[in-house]
Amino acid sequence: MLFETFNSSKEARTALEAASDLGIPGWGGFVCDWTGKLLNGETAAQVAAGLKGIEPDVLLFNCAPVPDITLALSELAKHYDQPMGGYAHVGRFDPPDWMFTDEYPPDQYLAAGREWIRLGAQVIGGCCGTTPMHIETLKQGLPKTLPV
Ligand SMILES: [Zn+2]
């Protein structure tokens, strides 16, 4: 079960405990801001500490701009040695619609994916505004296997 777009480790912990109780794998995705912190102010270190004992099978950051995901993963990598990953949004939300932009075309998104892997990410995907071309470019350009 992929739980995504969390804004607190407490909420994620509840969901991950439910997955554990059901005996199914649980992945936890968090939204971060431009400082790499969750929207509730928790740091990556606080998220890692908040999930102590119920670590998700993969801890991810999602639904934030590419540079924010990069910053959050770099902070998390200092405090967390379990599988992690990221999937950013590209474009802008202009209620009620998503505005597609060309700020992260597939080749630039691939470059971000490579940076996330360098930081230790093992799961890379795409969130709001990414297209099938973004995912295809990741598939073609990222290593097929990563060090564990
Ligand atoms: Zn999103």
Residue range(s) defining the domain that contains residue 47: 2-141
55: Cα separation from own chain's centroid: 15
Is 9 part of any domain? yes
* Number of domains, the chain: 1
Find out whether 22 and 56 touch, Cβ atoms under 8 Å.
Answer: no
Spatial distance between the Cα atoms of 148 and 135, rounded to a whole number of angstroms: 22
Query: Residue 34 Cα, ligand 1 centroid: separation in angstroms?
Result: 15
Find out whether 138 and 66 touch, Cβ atoms under 8 Å.
Answer: no
What single-letter DSSP state applies at residue 92?
Answer: E
pLDDT of 131 reads 93
Query: Residue 62 Cα, ligand 1 centroid: separation in angstroms?
Result: 6
Query: Residue 51 Cα, ligand 1 centroid: separation in angstroms?
Result: 22
Is 127 part of any domain? yes
Please state which of the ranges 55-59, 90-94, 143-147 shows the lowest mean pLDDT: 143-147
Backbone angles phi, psi at 77, to 5 degrees: -60, -25
Query: Residue 127 Cα, ligand 1 centroid: separation in angstroms?
Result: 4
Per-residue model confidence as pLDDT tens digits over 5-38: 999 999 999 999 999 999 999 999 999 999 999 9
Write the CATH number for 65.
Answer: 3.20.20.330
Query: Residue 113 Cα, ligand 1 centroid: separation in angstroms?
Result: 16
| Nearest Cα to Cα of residue 84 among 38, 138, 50, 121 | 121
Is the model's pLDDT at 147 over the cut of 90? no
Query: Residue 4 Cα, ligand 1 centroid: separation in angstroms?
Result: 9
Is the model's pLDDT at 146 over the cut of 80? no
Mean pLDDT of 91-114: 89
Alpha helices per DSSP H over 30-148: 44-50, 66-77, 106-118, 132-141
Q: What percent of the chain has pLDDT over 90?
A: 86
